[in-house]
A and B are shown apart, each in its own frame.
Chain A
Amino acid sequence: MTNRNSYEEVTKRKSEIMKKSVGLDYAEFESTGIGFDYEKMMKETGYSLKEVKQIQQDTGIGSTPLLELKNITKLARKLAPEGKGARIFVKDEASNPSGSYKARRAAVSVYNAKKLGYKGVIAATSGNYGAAVASQAAMLGLDCIIVQECYDSEGKGQPEIIEKARKCEAYGAEVLQLSVGPELFYQFLLLLEETGYFNASLYTPFGIAGIETLGYEIAEQMLARENKLPDVVIATNAGGGNLTGTARGLLKAGADDVKIYGASVNLKGLHMASDKQFNKKSFTTGHTGFGIPFATWPDRSDVPRSAARALRYMDRYVTLNQGEVFYTTEVLAQLEGMERGPAGNVSLAAAISIAQELDEDKIIVVQETEYTGAGKHIQPQLTFAKENGIDVKVGNPEEEVPGESIILPEHPRMIKARDLDLDKLRKSYVKNCIKNTGIENPSQEDMEFLAVDTKTNTEFIEKVLKEIQGGLN
């Protein structure tokens, strides 16, 4: 007899559970081939940017300060060739009610859940998003369950994740903590089925529409303050939503020429689903372990089609080492008087390096900060790293090996944004599309979809397809 609640049986019911819990029928956006109608899906939220802004205003979200980091800019200029050293600004998203930009991401989902008559919301997240959903649910009077991947098989948990559990509970949420493994999704499906609550996934159009206001505000505030748009906006990149939503908001504000850069912490070599490696990393988000797989296959998320599609908007993708981001976090506190992060400071570390490539009159916006607290701070995170056998030292960050060492740069000139080959990632995405759909000869419509979804053109896609087919034969 098959067990209705076995991993296999529950996974089979995935699309049926999803349809009920998101209130969207993803089949409506599908075509017969590789592509789907992304913009139609984004419109399906039914909320315009103006309405999203209103929803967020009603719960105290958004209109966060855009601050010029004058001392960090000065530091970058000291390190740069003469005439170089762009001005660095930061959007202080920590001042949102739950302490991060994730409040924006949760707002529309929770509002929509209430409007549709759901009694509660569920989200699978170990990060700031859980706190955001719990906070919004508290404001709108809905029940909330947060499912966290928290412990290894020895019951050891990342201090940062434990702090997030505390914060969710503070807002009245039930926090279900799990040990390492992708079957978190299985437990998540079971809970959705049991409770009938709304799936406040990070990757629905609601979540991404909520972030658009962030990009829009950057354009508005920068125009009001400097009478010009920024040259570069850098987003810390994990699942791709932060970058996608911000880029879309900038486009809606008419800021078409602003370059969008993604930045992730380099965790190369660490397997995200490995029990033994779970506590070898010192960043639980903003890292390449999410950033690269999600960029090259966004539809791996907890909804059939992800609204977070980083390659669609990204102009450049850089990585930083863990030690460089910890160093930057300390610099933000010591030079600017702001204790934030650390994970949200990946993009700031990137900005220190990238500012040195640009002329002094250029402007870089680091588009988020996040709250700091017990467990979620460089001291406890480095303490935890040491306890897990990581060698924490001062030296050359180039020599850092994720899972073995964290190397704080001897000098800030050693902070380097290292470029990932975007074309390689784009090619990998196209490959994944073919592998996962089984369509080896994409139609013209598919080629156009792939071109838009990788911010390239059909010539590029044709070239990539030829290479892939050449490799297959």
Chain B
Amino acid sequence: MAIGKKGDWVRIYRVILTPEERAPQVPEDTKKVSLEMWDKGFLLEDEADIGDEVEVETYIGRKVKGKLVEINPYYTHDYGKCITELLYIGRQTRDILKEETLND
């Protein structure tokens, strides 16, 4: 059973340039891989599965084709992990401000 339905907010993927089509000036490692694109929009097909070639209408109304990769895409970026290496900075600089020096 297809999991995506018409009107669903989805993320699509497409290769823009294959390694052979890439610009001559790109570095060797970049030239080995494709130039890829991701975009989002409302699904125009009646139904579709992840991996299907689909067409979407983007938020501003453009029609774009690509492979369906996600339905109801959402963000997961966050405030990261505890970086213990940073913990000394506040205490250290506050202590320096408290120090009596000739400059005071």
A-to-B contact residues, CB < 8 Å: 6-7, 71, 74-75, 77-80, 82, 85, 120, 143-145, 150-151, 153, 159, 162-163, 166, 169, 172-183, 186-187, 194-195, 271, 273-276, 326-327, 330-331, 333-335, 374-375, 377-384, 386, 392-394, 408, 411-412
A175, A182, A187, A327: the one within 8 Å of B25 (CB): A182
Chain A CB within 10 Å — which of B35, B40, B96, B99 has the most?
B35
Given A166-B75, A183-B16, A275-B29, answer yes or no on A178-B86 (Cβ-Cβ < 8 Å): no
| CB 8 Å contact bits of B29-72 with A (1 = contact, 0 = none) | 11011111111110000000000000000111110000000000
Query: What are 26 contact pairs spanning A and B, CB under 8 A?
Result: A7-B21, A74-B97, A82-B103, A151-B38, A162-B75, A162-B77, A169-B40, A176-B37, A177-B39, A180-B30, A181-B26, A183-B16, A186-B17, A271-B27, A330-B90, A331-B89, A331-B90, A331-B93, A374-B77, A375-B77, A379-B80, A379-B81, A379-B83, A383-B80, A384-B80, A412-B93
| Identity of the chain B residue whose Cβ is nearest the Cβ of A335 in the assembled complex | B93
Total interface residues on B, CB under 8 Å, equals 47
A-B interface pairs (CB < 8 A), number: 168
Set of chain B residues within 8 Å of A377, measured between Cβ atoms: 79-80
Q: Specify the chain B residue showing the minimal Cβ separation from A360.
A: B103
Say how far A328's CB is from chain B's closest CB, in angstroms. Answer: 9
Residues of A contacting B62 in the complex (Cβ-Cβ under 8 angstroms): 145, 174, 194-195
B91: nearest residue on chain A (CB-CB)? Answer: A334
- Name the B residues within 8 Å of A150 (CB-CB): 38
- Would A380 and B79 count as touching, CB distance under 8 A? yes
Q: Which residues of chain B are near A144, meaning CB under 8 Å? A: 60
Known contacts A78-B96, A179-B37; 20 additional CB pairs below 8 A are A7-B21, A7-B23, A74-B97, A120-B60, A153-B33, A166-B75, A177-B39, A179-B36, A271-B27, A331-B90, A335-B93, A335-B94, A375-B78, A378-B83, A378-B86, A379-B83, A380-B77, A383-B83, A392-B85, A412-B93
- CB <8 Å contact, A178 and B35: yes
Closest partner residue, chain B, to A383 (CB atom)? B80
In the assembled complex, the CB of B16 is this many whole angstroms from the nearest CB of chain A, namely 6
Q: Which chain B positions have C-beta within 8 A of A334? A: 89-90, 93-94
- Cα-based distance from A137 to B20 in the complex (angstroms): 37
The chain A residue with its CB closest to the CB of B90 is A334
Q: Do B94 and A411 have beta carbons less than 8 Å apart?
A: no
Q: How far is the CA of A269 from the CA of B25 in the complex (A)?
A: 18
Are B26 and A178 in touch, CB under 8 angstroms? no
When chains A and B are docked, how far (Å) is the Cα of A41 from the Cα of B35? 35
Complex Cα gap A331–B61 (Å)? 45
Residues of A within 8 A of B59 (CB): 169, 172-174
Contact of B22 among A7, A120, A169, A380 (CB under 8 A): A7
